A and B are shown apart, each in its own frame.
Chain A
Amino acid sequence: MTGYLVQRLLLMIPTFIGITLIGFIIMRLAPGDPAELRAAGGLGAAAGAGISLEKRGAVDEAMAQWRTQFGLDKPLHVQYIVWLENLLTFKFGDSFKDSQPVWDKIAERLPVTIQLNLWSILVVYLVAIPLGIYSATHANSLGDQVTTVLAFGLFAVPLVWAATMAIVFICGGDFYYLFPPGGMESLDFSDQWPIWRKIQDHAWHLFLPVVLLSYSGFAALSRYMRSSMLEVLSQDYVQVARAKGLQEKIVLLKHVLRNSLIPQVTLLADILPGLIGGSVIIETMFSIPGLGQLGFESVLARDYPTVLALFTVTAVLTLIGILLSDLLLAVVDPRIAFGRRQR
């Protein structure tokens, strides 16, 4: 087990370097220099043409100053190493957009996104696992086929469409006002509210985003659960349990369910990247102040330090997620650590 852990940790090093390198190269090779963009933002569209020569000189001077300040005048590989060093000591630098420390911006929004994603993961598992169990115990029945088709259909529903339909029809447009069209709390939210009212308000705002983020995960997880349970059901020890006269309920809950739940742990690593992508869309559409919205805004503003930091943080978190789920699997199923990875 220790050997396996060490091996996995060592293999993470090249992966980590690869991730940071890709992020860095993409950000720096893109056309358009943040200093120029900043000048354009500060002086309006006139930064390029239409201003007098002396003012142009002042702009150039300011841009050169920014370049030195942000280290943009050094060669690329030096910039990368400096950035990597800062990264390892959790110094992400200041945002180009508003000169706030990037880490503060991320830390401020992280709880929102984590909350949104944790609820979504919970909903996915709470809906998909029972669906999978039902499908497996009623394999090939009408109910099984209906659940499969429904889950499959949901998988094909574009997130942007589902979100738009929700906003148009049930978020207080010309139709129904069942849910708020955005934000995390009501406008008249106050700290004097009793606790139950705060929770109610919060739940009311989170309901739609969480449902929208989770529905596409039902299909994959319930199908994996179904096939993994069918596989366990076909094994000899289940036959034995039944033969010795155990109730079917006990056979299923005590003997089958446990073993078929184990592989579902690793699926978390498959769901996570999708959730992050979904957060960008959902947070932007419902104006939820989380990492997804921050990411989208920073990309549009070419706020290099923020985008790079977000890119690396999410990638490293996913990497750790994959590692943790693999290790968890190795703990519950010792065969894994000896053989090759199963994924």
Chain B
Amino acid sequence: MNVQSPTAPLQPTDKAAGAEDTNVAEGLWSDIWRRFKHNPIALAGFYVVCLLVFMALFADFITNDKPYYLNYNGESYFPILRSYLVGAKLAQWPAELLNVDFKKLDGVKALYPPIPYRPSNINLLEPLEPPSAKHLFGTDKLGRDVAAGMIHGSRISLSIGFVAVGIAALIGVILGAIAGYFGSWTDLAISRVFEIMLSIPTFFLLITIAALLPPSIFLTMAIIGATSWVGMARFTRNEFLRIRNLDYVTAAVALGVSDRKVMFKHILPNALAPVIVSVVFGIGGAILVESSLSFLGIGVPAELVTWGSILQEGSTTTFAWWLAVFPGFAIFITVLAYYLVGEGLREVLDPRLRGLR
């Protein structure tokens, strides 16, 4: 290697370029936000997404059969917080509170969350109750509270959306980058893979794999991710094909920068716009797919309450309209929120992009 002069003076400049990169990245995001917030519809979608994330994170504090605060035998307890500590093996329940139903304790003062049930609380005395003050969205045929199930179900929907799209973006960006950067035979070969994925009936492939493997949330995430990356890969490939021929890339290659560094450090940041948009749309799409899967009863374990599984019960118990209306509306609002954010981002990032994926 030429250890001497040519590279030596470049070192500081290289660092400076690195520092500038992070500045540029910050500038990009604040610029996006500045323009994004002028679009009221997209902004509304963004706030709905924030609300959903908040709901998913704090589901235990919104619906729980344990009280926030409990005064028992003159002692104060914070059962919800304590259940986290117990879960982390940092604390234990006092013997008299272990596995008890807090609501049946005598002579206690307690403060309960707005929905005092967990999705797993089976109450066979109250099956298929219509919505009332006691059960806001009614109960299912095992007497489980639908509102509680829906709020906890948002965790599953959102995490599947995020993780599946994360996997899809990883595969899509890497394959698209390789195809677009190297071009010619590599591109031709990888484009065949795209064509295969485009012709395969994805949903059918999905239910096939999901039905053959044991039900598990993580597998479902992985399968949805592994079958939904083509759109992102094609966008990335096209951007790479375009940017590859720009002067600054030729300059970087001429300077002897490694292929990997050119691809992921110099080209990728400029090729991200369409990927960001399709990631946001992809989250909405993955949530839709997950709801169809759990509606069909494949992929997610049967005992888990998800939006799709409540909806499924609604389709077989036709008089219980609340089982059909509420969870479906939740899926609709969530997906719509992501699509609105995606559309807003598209207008900000690249008005030339068309279509809906």
Given the complex, which residues of A lie within 8 Å of B312, measured CB to CB? 160
Q: Which of A254-278 contact B (CB under 8 A)?
A: 269, 273, 276-278
A302 touches B212 (CB 8 A): yes
Which of A22, A30, A149, A224 is within 8 Å of B355, CB to CB? A224
A330 to B188, CA, bound (A): 20
**Smallest CB gap from A145: residue in B:** B41
Q: A158-B335, A168-B318 given as contacts; is B213 within 8 A of A31 (CB)?
A: yes
Q: What's the least CB distance linking B52 to chain A, in Å?
A: 14
Q: What's the least CB distance linking A295 to chain B, in Å?
A: 6
Given the complex, which residues of A lie within 8 Å of B311, measured CB to CB? 160-161, 164
Q: A161-B331, A315-B201 given as contacts; is B212 within 8 A of A153 (CB)?
A: no
B77 at the interface (CB under 8 A from A): no
Given the complex, which residues of A lie within 8 Å of B296, measured CB to CB? 281, 284, 296
B200 touches A19 (CB 8 A): yes
Which of B188, B201, B208, B325 is within 8 Å of A318, CB to CB? B201
Given the complex, which residues of A lie within 8 Å of B203, measured CB to CB? 273, 276-278, 280
Q: A158-B291, A164-B315, A224-B355 given as contacts; is B208 within 8 A of A273 (CB)?
A: no
Q: What's the least CB distance linking A307 to chain B, in Å?
A: 6
Q: A31-B213, A224-B354, A322-B199 given as contacts; is B328 within 8 A of A314 (CB)?
A: no
B32 at the interface (CB under 8 A from A): no
Given the complex, which residues of A lie within 8 Å of B318, measured CB to CB? 167-168, 171, 173-174
A194 at the interface (CB under 8 A from B): no
**Smallest CB gap from B207: residue in A:** A299
Q: Tell me if B's interface is mostly helix, strand, loop or mixed.
A: helix
A159 to B289, CA, bound (A): 10
A156 touches B314 (CB 8 A): no
B138 at the interface (CB under 8 A from A): no
Q: Tell me if A's interface is mostly helix, strand, loop or mixed.
A: helix
A273 to B123, CA, bound (A): 42
A167 touches B192 (CB 8 A): no
A11 at the interface (CB under 8 A from B): yes
B205 touches A169 (CB 8 A): no
Question: How many cross-chain pairs have Cβ atoms below 8 Å apart between A and B?
Answer: 157
Which of A22, A32, A161 is within 8 Å of B212, CB to CB? A32
**Smallest CB gap from A308: residue in B:** B208
Given the complex, which residues of A lie within 8 Å of B57, measured CB to CB? none
Contact with B along A27-47 (1 / 0, CB 8 A): 100111000000000000000
Contact with A along B288-307 (1 / 0, CB 8 A): 10011001100000000000
Q: A157-B332, A159-B292 given as contacts; is B212 within 8 A of A277 (CB)?
A: no
Query: Interface size on B (CB < 8 Å)?
Result: 50
A164 touches B213 (CB 8 A): no
Given the complex, which residues of B lie within 8 Å of A157, measured CB to CB? 332
B1 at the interface (CB under 8 A from A): no
Q: A19-B200, A27-B208 given as contacts; is B314 within 8 A of A223 (CB)?
A: no
Given the complex, which residues of B lie within 8 Å of A276, measured CB to CB? 201, 203-204
Q: What's the least CB distance linking B142 to chain A, in Å?
A: 19
B201 touches A161 (CB 8 A): no
A152 touches B332 (CB 8 A): no
Q: What's the least CB distance linking A162 to chain B, in Å?
A: 8
For A156, A227, A296, the residue with the greatest tally of chain B CB atoms inside 10 Å of its CB is A156
Q: A168-B321, A174-B319 given as contacts; is B204 within 8 A of A15 (CB)?
A: no
Q: What's the least CB distance linking B36 to chain A, in Å?
A: 17
A310 at the interface (CB under 8 A from B): yes
Which of A22, A32, A173, A224 is within 8 Å of B196, CB to CB? A22
Given the complex, which residues of B lie within 8 Å of A27, measured CB to CB? 208, 212
B284 at the interface (CB under 8 A from A): yes
Taking A164-B314, A311-B205 as given, write out 17 further A-B residue pairs in contact, using a Cβ cutoff of 8 Å, ordered by the A residue number.
Answer: A19-B200, A27-B208, A31-B213, A153-B336, A160-B292, A160-B308, A164-B324, A168-B321, A220-B355, A223-B354, A273-B203, A276-B203, A277-B201, A281-B292, A285-B315, A295-B204, A322-B199
Return 9 A-B CB contacts under 8 Å, by A number. A152-B339, A160-B312, A161-B332, A173-B318, A273-B202, A281-B295, A285-B315, A311-B208, A314-B201
List B residues at the A interface (Cβ < 8 Å).
Answer: 41, 188, 192-193, 195-196, 198-205, 207-209, 211-214, 284, 288, 291-292, 295-296, 308, 311-312, 314-315, 318-319, 321, 324-325, 327-329, 331-332, 335-336, 339-340, 343, 354-356
The 4 closest A-B CB pairs, nearest first, are: A277-B203, A161-B328, A173-B318, A30-B212
